[in-house]
Amino acid sequence: MNNIIHSIVSGFNYGVIVYFVAANAVYLFLLFVATVVVLRHLKKLKYGRYQETMQPALALPVSVLIAAYNEEENIVDTVKALLRLDYPSYEVIVINDGSTDSTLKKLIEDFALERMDLVYRPIVHTAPVAGFYVSPEIPNLTVVDKAHAGKADSLNVGINVSRSPYFCSVDGDSILEEKAIIRLMRTIVENPEQVIANGGIVRILNGSIMREGRLEELKLPSDSLSRLQVVEYIRSFLFGRAGWSAINSLVIISGTFSMFQKRAVLAVGGYSTDTVTEDLDLIITLHEHMMDSKERYRILFVPDPICWTEAPQTLSMLARQRRRWHMGLAESLYRHRRMLFNPKYGRIGLIALPYQLIIELLGPVIEIGGYVVVTTSFFLGAVDEKFFMLFLTMAILLGVLLSTGSILLEEMSYRRYPRGRDFLLLLLYGVLENFGYRQINSFWRTQAVFKKIFRKKKWEHVKKSGFKWDGEKQEKGQTHP
Amino acid sequence: MTRLLLISIIALIVSITFAIFLFAVLRRYFRKKAFSRLDKSRERYGPLVDSVIEDPATRSIEELRAEDGSPDWTAVEEALLKAMEKARAQRYEKIYGLFEALGYVDGYIERLKNGKDWERAVAAERLGAIRCGRAVPHLIEALKDSFRDVHNMAVYALGLIGDDSALPAIVESFKHGIDDFEDVSLRIVKSALLSFGERSIKVLRPELKNPRWRVRAAVVDVLGELKDLAVVEDLMLALKDPEPDIRAKAAKGLGTLAHPAAVKDISALVDDPYWVVRLHSVRALGLIGAPESVDVIKQKLLDSNWQVRRAAAEALGRMEEDALPVLADVLMNNHDRYAREQVVEELERIGMVKRLIGRLVEKRDEVREDAEQTLCALIINGALSPIINAMESEGPEIRRRIIEVLKRAGGERAVDIVRDALEKDPDPAVKQEAATALEALQPR
């Protein structure tokens, strides 16, 4: 019996090492590819001004959709920022998803909205719409009030109301840069026949100063949790998505800011309302649909820092968010299981989705299992010091290398934190995130896997605290130093 | 695994991490120095460039000469490009002369011919930005470049320069883009053609007879966007093309031109078997706004396709007062619920309901009565939001009149509004009117 247990433990220990070697090899490959992609993209920006001087008549109209549920803290600033976007032809549609706070009231008051009886045509089936609000002064703003049915349902309402061939989903707690749509539309304008979706980089806004819906001064947050998330976002967006996009196998575009061809999304019936991560599910569904219909298409990541969002500032909120994301990943992979390891779906079926399954979904379980079993084995003498050191090297030391590598890539590319102190802090947190933060993240994600297995599906709403405003200085009419 | 191998792996990873740290810090340090040098150059050359442009007699051009690739070179280039962006036509020549004299133009052309991929694309963009006429043959040559971005930038630059000799090559590029959009962006080529304005018509016109319908459709699209009356006849001919996409684009173009001569031919297309053609025809009629097309558009409120119905309502809404009797008639007499709903939406969108509410206190009886009648029909068809808004914001006389209209219209929601007025309205006359109305509205 002891021998059997020993064999199982030993097998698991070696399995953990194999997992870490494989995962890190993929990450290093992605970091390499992303470096090439991002640097190429930056070169391209040198002659990117043409986009801004193109004939406005040829700009493809875009509907910007914001699903807002209890976003009273941020919604007005978000909409103000959206109304200032530098794009010749766009409309903003805010969908109030039955908020129980004053989200709708604030919108009505701040934008002098009036109720209007518009005809609602549910091309995609949705929850009932309660009313439409428009402003005679702001003709490109429409607010739709509806019964609470989740973000996906709200976005589907937005698609139904939208009058443009492209729509862009933006979170209610996010701020877009003025050129955001132009930059995102560039890849579409250059290849409208093939590009059916794309997304940009989302960055963390915590700690920065906002004024009138604009990012006034970008600063690193003062709290450690937000700083760790800043590093994590840089790693995730810069090398994760840029790398996958380069090999046309992107399956995740952040729902915080993404652009879609409406025709393609309508063809798949809009967002799925029975998953907690509708953005991920939509992308996989689009891949499936396009491959099934044998159409040539592209889903791209545009490596431009264009959307700023608020990150959870407490561990409990962060835990909820991460569990929700992970449960969504599990759900989407389960829903699209016929694509997994299926040669019919090419790189998506054979590489991207298996990566999501093995490295992203199950990886945290193996990782947490590894920390427990390998460490226990070491202290019980079942594995030697060399094995344990190899485990730590693979689990932690390579993580430090990847984090600092990402920050170097950020430094070589966008350099959004110009202050030397912020840069050094980023590097420091790039090291620190591998000692506790990554592990606790993996723990939450492991919890999500088990919750999913035991069918405990419950939406975990993440409460955020609102943008930081330079209120006092604003009142005094001073500019921030 | 030997201990030595393990230590070597750890040492390697730690060394690489440390190297990244060091490289990042050093890079930041040197970049900061380089940017600081560039900032100094910008500070120096920004005003200097301006003064050389303003007053070439006292300032020597030699003061701006710098070594290719140096911070000074970049600063002068930036200042000149900025000046070019802001400059009016008469100063272009002067600024362009500086680009030539300082060697930038030769540098760009050299890079366009022999540079790396990115350098060629940047060079093409710069040559366009400075409107370099002598670069046209090189840019035309660059249309054959295998690197897509060079092709795109060359087309873009040729559009900016606007030299007619480039037009045939751009049209070829356009036709090529229709077949293979991976080689060039069709939108950039269209944008370039539009930059030429009416001069592009003569090279595009022969393509209207191109046997490939995709080419004809793309050409009709560009001609429509040109917004030039010289293309009216071409577009009217295209209305008869066997391809629905071409007919739709031709109608769209004629709508943009708002040419009344096209009303008859476009009206013939509102019953086209293809809904996209009907949609663009109805929109075009709305844009032209000829009163004689009101009845034709009205019929389209009953189209089988909801987008055509919406376009018809929008088209009538655009005609505002001219179409109001027709829209009111649809509200009162049409049996099609979708058509009535669409009219309600449009009348609210264009602010007509608000105007009608204002007319409730109009002195001329026939105007007031028409307004009352239309509002009554609107209320019956669900246009209650502007009524509720008006009960909160308008004066007592209008509020009283609204209650009269609500009494005529009837319905549960009308009762709610009247009851609300009875309970909350501060004006006694409005309250009195509400009490009377409520009595009449309540089921006996």
Q: What is the mean pLDDT of residues A125-150?
A: 90
Least confident of B173-187, B210-224, B325-339: B173-187
Q: In this structure, how many other beta carbons lie within 10 angstroms of the beta carbon of residue B106?
A: 12
Q: In this structure, how many other beta carbons lie within 10 angstroms of the beta carbon of residue B82?
A: 14
Residues of A at the B interface (Cβ-Cβ below 8 Å)?
A: 43-44, 46-47, 49-50, 53-55, 57-58, 114-119, 121, 131, 134, 136, 189-194, 386, 389-390, 393, 397-398, 400-401, 404-405, 407-408, 411-412, 420, 423-424, 427
pLDDT for residue A476:
29
Residue A302, SS3?
strand
Answer yes or no: is pLDDT of A475 > 50: no
Which pLDDT band holds residue A52 (cuts at 50, 70, 90)?
Answer: low
Residue A301, SS3?
strand
Which pLDDT band holds residue B49 (cuts at 50, 70, 90)?
Answer: confident
Total beta-carbon pairs less than 8 A apart between chain A and chain B: 127
Q: Which residue of A has its CA nearest to B181?
A: A191
Bigger pLDDT: B40 vs B87 = B40
- Between the alpha carbon of residue A107 and those of residues A133, A397, B1, the distances in Å are 9, 49, 65
Chain segment B16-32, per-residue pLDDT in tens = 988 988 888 888 888 88
Rounded to whole angstroms, the Cα distance separating A262 from A396 reads 43
Cβ contact, residue pair B348, A398, below 8 Å:
no
As beta bridge partners, residue A63 has: A91, A167
Q: Distance (Å) from the C-alpha of residue A190 to the closest C-alpha of chain B?
A: 5
Q: Which residue of B has its CA nearest to A187?
A: B185
Residue A67, SS3?
strand
Q: Which residue of A has its CA nearest to B339?
A: A119
Cβ contact, residue pair B194, A49, below 8 Å:
no
Rounded to whole angstroms, the Cα distance separating B333 from B327 reads 10
Q: Distance (Å) from the C-alpha of residue A401 to the closest C-alpha of chain B?
A: 5
- Between the alpha carbon of residue A14 and those of residues A7, A367, B291, B369, the distances in Å are 11, 12, 83, 89
pLDDT for residue A457:
53
| The two structure tokens encoding residue B117 | 């991929």
pLDDT for residue A478:
30
Q: What is the mean pLDDT of residues B348-355?
A: 87
As beta bridge partners, residue A114 has: A134
Q: Distance (Å) from the C-alpha of residue A332 to the closest C-alpha of chain B?
A: 32
Which pLDDT band holds residue A303 (cuts at 50, 70, 90)?
Answer: confident
pLDDT for residue A456:
56
Q: In this structure, how many other beta carbons lie within 10 angstroms of the beta carbon of residue B127?
A: 30
The phi, psi pair for B392, rounded to 5°, reads: -95, -25
The DSSP annotation for A5-46 comes to HHHHHHHHHHHHHHHHHHHHHHHHHHHHHHHHHHHHHHHHHT
pLDDT for residue A51:
59
Chain segment B278-332, per-residue pLDDT in tens = 999 999 999 998 888 888 998 898 888 888 988 998 898 888 788 888 888 888 8
Which pLDDT band holds residue B350 (cuts at 50, 70, 90)?
Answer: confident
Q: Distance (Å) from the C-alpha of residue B59 to the closest C-alpha of chain A?
A: 31
Q: What is the mean pLDDT of residues A94-117?
A: 92
Residues of B in contact with A410 (CB under 8 A): none
As beta bridge partners, residue A134 has: A114, A142
| The two structure tokens encoding residue A203 | 């960055």
B120 Cα distance to chain centroid? 30
Residues of A in contact with B156 (CB under 8 A): 50
Answer yes or no: is pLDDT of A264 > 80: yes
Residues of B in contact with A49 (CB under 8 A): 125, 129
Helix (H) or strand (E) holding A364: helix A363-379
Rounded to whole angstroms, the Cα distance separating A299 from A312 reads 28
Q: What is the mean pLDDT of residues A91-111?
A: 94
Answer yes or no: is pLDDT of B187 > 90: no
Answer yes or no: is pLDDT of A469 > 50: no
Chain segment A214-243, per-residue pLDDT in tens = 777 888 888 999 999 999 988 888 777 888
Q: In this structure, how many other beta carbons lie within 10 angstroms of the beta carbon of residue A437?
A: 19
Rounded to whole angstroms, the Cα distance separating A374 from A377 reads 5
Q: Distance (Å) from the C-alpha of residue B58 to the closest C-alpha of chain A?
A: 34
Give the start-end residues of each E strand in A276-355: 298-309
Residue with tokens 């500019």, as numbered in its chain? A479
Interface predicted TM-score (ipTM): 0.73
Least CB-CB distance to B125: which of A50, A115, A386? A50
Which pLDDT band holds residue B115 (cuts at 50, 70, 90)?
Answer: very high
- List the Cα angle A297/A299/A305 in 5-degree steps: 150
Q: What is the average pLDDT value for chain A, to the nearest integer? A: 86
The DSSP annotation for B406-428 comes to HHHH-SHHHHHHHHHHHHH-S-H
> B85, B180, B191: which to substitute to probe chain A, counting the most A Cβ within 10 Å?
B191
pLDDT for residue A48:
65
Chain segment B232-250, per-residue pLDDT in tens = 999 999 999 999 999 999 9
| The two structure tokens encoding residue B350 | 């264009």
pLDDT for residue A474:
33
pLDDT for residue A237:
80
Chain segment A391-441, per-residue pLDDT in tens = 999 889 999 999 988 888 888 877 778 788 888 899 899 999 999 999 999
Answer yes or no: is pLDDT of A271 > 70: yes
Contact B265, B280 (CB under 8 A): no
Bigger pLDDT: B209 vs A456 = B209
Residue A65, SS3?
strand
Answer yes or no: is pLDDT of A477 > 50: no
Contact A374, A15 (CB under 8 A): no
Least CB-CB distance to A191: which of B6, B185, B195? B185
Chain segment A427-439, per-residue pLDDT in tens = 899 999 999 999 9
pLDDT for residue B110:
95
pLDDT for residue A306:
76
Answer yes or no: is pLDDT of A167 > 90: yes
DSSP-derived secondary structure letter, A454: T
Q: Distance (Å) from the C-alpha of residue B261 to the closest C-alpha of chain A?
A: 24
Residues of A in contact with B218 (CB under 8 A): none
Nearest alpha-carbon partner for A225 in A476, A458, A433, A4: A433
Q: Dihedral angle at the C-alpha atoms of B136, B137, B141, B143, nearest 10 degrees?
A: 30
Nearest alpha-carbon partner for A220 in A458, A416, A451: A416
Which pLDDT band holds residue B68 (cuts at 50, 70, 90)?
Answer: confident
| The two structure tokens encoding residue A324 | 């929700």
Chain segment A364-380, per-residue pLDDT in tens = 999 999 999 999 999 98
Q: What is the mean pLDDT of residues B334-343?
A: 84
Cβ contact, residue pair A189, B1, below 8 Å:
no
Most confident among A72-81, A174-183, A315-324 (mean pLDDT)? A315-324
Cβ contact, residue pair A193, B10, below 8 Å:
no
Answer yes or no: is pLDDT of A186 > 60: yes
Residues of B in contact with A398 (CB under 8 A): 13
The DSSP annotation for A181-210 comes to HHHHHHHHHH-TTTEEEEEEEEEE-TT-EE
Which pLDDT band holds residue A205 (cuts at 50, 70, 90)?
Answer: confident
| The two structure tokens encoding residue A300 | 């791209």
pLDDT for residue A105:
94
Rounded to whole angstroms, the Cα distance separating A309 from A312 reads 10
Rounded to whole angstroms, the Cα distance separating B209 from A445 reads 63
Cβ contact, residue pair B152, A190, below 8 Å:
yes
Q: Which residue of A has its CA nearest to B28?
A: A411
Which pLDDT band holds residue A473 (cuts at 50, 70, 90)?
Answer: very low
